[in-house]
Chain A
Amino acid sequence: MTAGPLLAIQGLSKSFGGLQAVRDFDLDVPERSIVGLIGPNGSGKTTVLNLVTGEIAADGGSVRLDGREILGRPAFRVCRARIARTFQLVRVLPGMTTRENVLIGRLFGSAPATPEHARKEIDALLDRVGLSDLADQTGAQLTYIDQKRVELARALATQPRLLLLDEWLAGLNPRELQIGIELIRRIRDEGMTIVMIEHVMEAIRALCDHVVVMSAGGLIAAGAPDSVLNDPEVARVYLGDDDA
């Protein structure tokens, strides 16, 4: 358990040519909490995740995990530092089975194991996310929600302390959404710290302890879900001036 936040982002910035995608962004994520990152499309949410996970290089700022600077580390080192992520557009490995898709997280994550040692743990993990019956199907054969489950299970298999979910609940039907919300809640209850980018407000209200809102690369509001979602400025950036 840490005294400060598990993840501390300060002054994070990134430009693509003339476009300031992320501007002087700050965020603290306490351990065992769920923080929602919301904002209209193009506001810089996924760029923040890409910067934190080492997928792209930042122009400036600081990202500390448990007090240790991780900004500038390549993606595989961030993963080994116990930060795992899912992707906005689901990325399962189509030619590998469900079991293999998840196994790779365990083979190369924060505590690498040999294939022989990892297999039994992976079967337990598949059971936990409801994929046991699909273990031998290839990624290409899975339905959308099952592909999302595979991505989540693969991230969990790396044994993270911090899980970054990029619109993991998007595109699910109402029944699947309830299953998804329940799954995330269970993972948090087991001790995980989660940052979730999400447009599904029902999920934000149901799951998040704290919400931050981004617009045009900067942070415009932060606080408890109900107060943030009722903020007129948040409604304005989402819906435009006329509807706010």
Chain B
Amino acid sequence: MAEKPASRWWIAPAAAGVAFLAGLPLLLSAYTVSLLISVLAYASLATSWAFFSGTTRYISLATAAFVGIGTYTVALLSDHLPLAVVLAIAHMIGFVIALGVGLSTLRLSGIYFVIFTFGLTELIKQLVIWFEINQTKTLARYIFVNASGTLIYELLLATATIVIAGVWWLSRSRVGYALRVIGEDEMVARHSGIDTTRVKVLVFAATSAVMSMVGAVLSLRYTYVDPNIAFNSLVSFQVLIMALLGGIGRPWGPALGAVPLVLLSELLSGTFPHHFGIALGICFVVIVFFLPGGVMGLVDRWSAWLPRSALRRRKES
């Protein structure tokens, strides 16, 4: 008997949704588009982060490092090369550096990997500072790229769409299974025929390359950049919290987590610019205590509970 083909009913509505989002800048103010740019950037970052770290449980705090690499690639090359080429180079540099980092660190497990990735951001930042001071005799750069808010929005929408669709597709493939097995029990993974080093290094590199791409596109918003802006460790924690808030078990969960935190950030940075850190800390505590599976976990629990309670009501009536 032939297997029933998987249902694809949602593809048309999803494509319509993306088309609608692509047209939004025509309807919205520049401020709202700018807000959506942050949402799309963080949705891409959180989805990429969760695909590797959420699944394998190798918790990476190197997101800021790869975002910064993208930002600095634009700062260094945008005067000399066309934008498309610069973005492609940022993507490639992120991939190659992550490949080297992955090969040397993914044998580390648990807390050692977390600490190394956290230190990586600071290490790269210090290297950039050293390079700028000693080689170029400057510590800041101006970015003169003529990119409108709409262009940045459309680039990030394309990135987010590709990332979420790619993660959805890969999650159902052998790569997705391999990552899950590595997260559950790496010894079982090895003895089931999974080349764990290869899978970990390649997925870490691919997701880090996306982070560099996002950093590169986001940098088009700036006119001025220095190493402290480009390599901001807070980004690594924000992305982690967004992924946990949305729920890391589903391809679209982490992206969902980006929306409330970006809005909260915007609200607080406008009204209480110095309290965002406190709000972030409270969010983290609330998520860990009350939403261990994230919003998607809550949806799963509710959707399991609703049919049961409906059944109970029917029996009682």
Contacts and interface: CB of A to CB of B under 8 A. Distances in A.
A91 B187 contact: yes
B192 A158 contact: yes
Interface string B203-241: 000000000000000000000000000000000000000
Nearest to B172: A115
Q: Main secondary structure on chain B at its contact with chain A? A: helix
Contacts of B190: 54-55, 74-76, 79
A229 B8 CA distance: 62
Contact of A93 (B3, B184, B194): B184
Contacts of B187: 55, 87, 91
B13 interface: no
A74 B3 CA distance: 36
Contacts of A108: 174, 177-178, 192-194
Contacts, number: 76
B288 interface: no
B191 interface: yes
Contacts of A75: 190-191
B214 to A, nearest CB: 29
A143 B3 CA distance: 31
B181 interface: yes
Query: In the complex, which range does the number of interface residues on chain A fall in?
Result: 20 to 34
A55 B191 contact: yes
B196 interface: yes
A105 interface: yes
B191 A103 contact: no
Contacts of B177: 100, 103-104, 107-108, 115
B185 interface: yes
Nearest to A154: B192
A109 interface: yes
23 contacts: A55-B190, A76-B190, A76-B191, A76-B193, A76-B194, A76-B195, A79-B193, A87-B187, A93-B181, A93-B188, A95-B180, A96-B184, A104-B181, A104-B192, A105-B192, A105-B193, A107-B177, A107-B178, A108-B193, A110-B193, A115-B174, A119-B3, A158-B193
Interface of B: 3, 172-174, 177-178, 180-181, 184-185, 187-196
